[in-house]
Amino acid sequence: MAKDYYDTLGIQRGTSQEEIKKAYKKLAKKYHPDISKEENAEQKFKDVQHAYSVLSDDAKRRNYDQFGEQAERFGGQGGFQGFGGEGFDFSDIFEQFGFGNQGFSDIFGGGRRGPRRGEDIIFKLSLNFEDAAFGTKKEITVDRIEECDNCHGSGARPGTKIITCDVCHGSGVEKQLRRTFLGTIATQSTCRKCRGLGESVDDPCPVCSGSGREHKKKKISITIPAGIDSGNHLRLRDQGNEGEKGAIKGDLIAVIFVEPHEVFKRDGFDIFMELPISFSEAALGDDIEVPTLKGKAKLKVPSGTQSGTLFKMKEKGIQKLQRKDFGDQYVRVVVKTPEKMSKKMKELLEKLQEEEETAKNRKGIFGKLKGIFD
């Protein structure tokens, strides 16, 4: 599904939720597999449902606007169990997106099922090359929704009572008969007033207006493991926004961007660099000092090395993520022709020129092009 979700629903970016819902209802009717005569109705219906499931959810929509479909890989709640006991998530695998029947219950006007889980907070974390290679600790400040200090999340003014919900009489469930385009059906949905809790607040907390939640700035320390790369993400469980009363918290997800390095280029866990060497070093061979991530190391350049030759320095690359072994460092030597020369150098090179057979070798080339040069 590489399609743009806005295109799928035939709407513009920035469209209101009401318009999104309208567009969705229209298309869901048009493509509903039970009634549609359109070609590929089932697939189109699924596409529409999926686009709607993302765009109708403010948090998912924001993530989609910012990160595109990629955002959904962060969206699921399943998956990974712990990393080094800190609950990190390295799964680059797309988490299966459940189509569920949430879209449907919306057509039928049913309520949501239970209190809503806290939203994930997704943010971009830029790291310099070395921090990504070696790992580090980063402190970040997030603006997130937390439990209200004043009412400790109850939503009630301190000292006042929490009462039984007068809509569902404490059951948390609303029963309704609904007329839909598929006929009349009885639905049972979560109570919209109390969201399934069975109780409501008589006198709301003045700080959070009864939501039990408030915005706070929070400093969070993140451990960056060695070897992390652009496109990886770190998931800190339960460090996202507080959910509705009775629901679990969202996660904090750092999407990693590694800044380029002046000398090294990275490819996975291998690193590449270009090393200028002199003509005499290339011709005679030498042990040449090379910068690596862990300081200087010697590279043996054999005599007669041509410019552009690639050398591999084993295990001098970046530590592999969650492993003990390292990538390699590749060094491409580039023979530099001297531009500024001392008098002595010039004399030596002139002597060299007299010795060299290169002029003769070029005659060989000219020989092959006889028709052009005579």
Binding residues vs Zn ion (CB under 5 A):
148, 150-151, 165, 167-168, 191, 193-194, 205, 207-208
Contact 327, 268 (CB under 8 A): yes
Nearer residue to Zn ion within complex by CB, 132 or 197: 197
Separation in Å, CA 164 to CA 57, 152, 198, 250: 29, 19, 6, 28
Nearer residue to Zn ion within complex by CB, 11 or 205: 205
Burial 349-371 (b: 16+ CB within 10 A, else e): eeeeeeeeeeeeeeeeeeeeeee
> In the sheet where 233-236 sits, what is the strand order?
121-127, 252-258, 233-236
- CA-nearest of 109, 151, 125 to 242 is 151
Nearer residue to Zn ion within complex by CB, 115 or 291: 115
Minimum distance between the CB of residue 174 and Zn ion, rounded to whole angstroms? 7
Nearer residue to Zn ion within complex by CB, 208 or 234: 208
Separation in Å, CA 103 to CA 46, 77, 111: 10, 18, 11
Minimum distance between the CB of residue 184 and Zn ion, rounded to whole angstroms? 24
As a whole number of Å, the CA-based R_g of the chain is: 33
Minimum distance between the CB of residue 239 and Zn ion, rounded to whole angstroms? 21
Name the token pair of 288.
């040449």
Minimum distance between the CB of residue 161 and Zn ion, rounded to whole angstroms? 15
Minimum distance between the CB of residue 189 and Zn ion, rounded to whole angstroms? 11
Nearer residue to Zn ion within complex by CB, 149 or 274: 149
Nearer residue to Zn ion within complex by CB, 207 or 220: 207
Contact 10, 2 (CB under 8 A): no
Minimum distance between the CB of residue 147 and Zn ion, rounded to whole angstroms? 8
First to last CA, the chain: 65
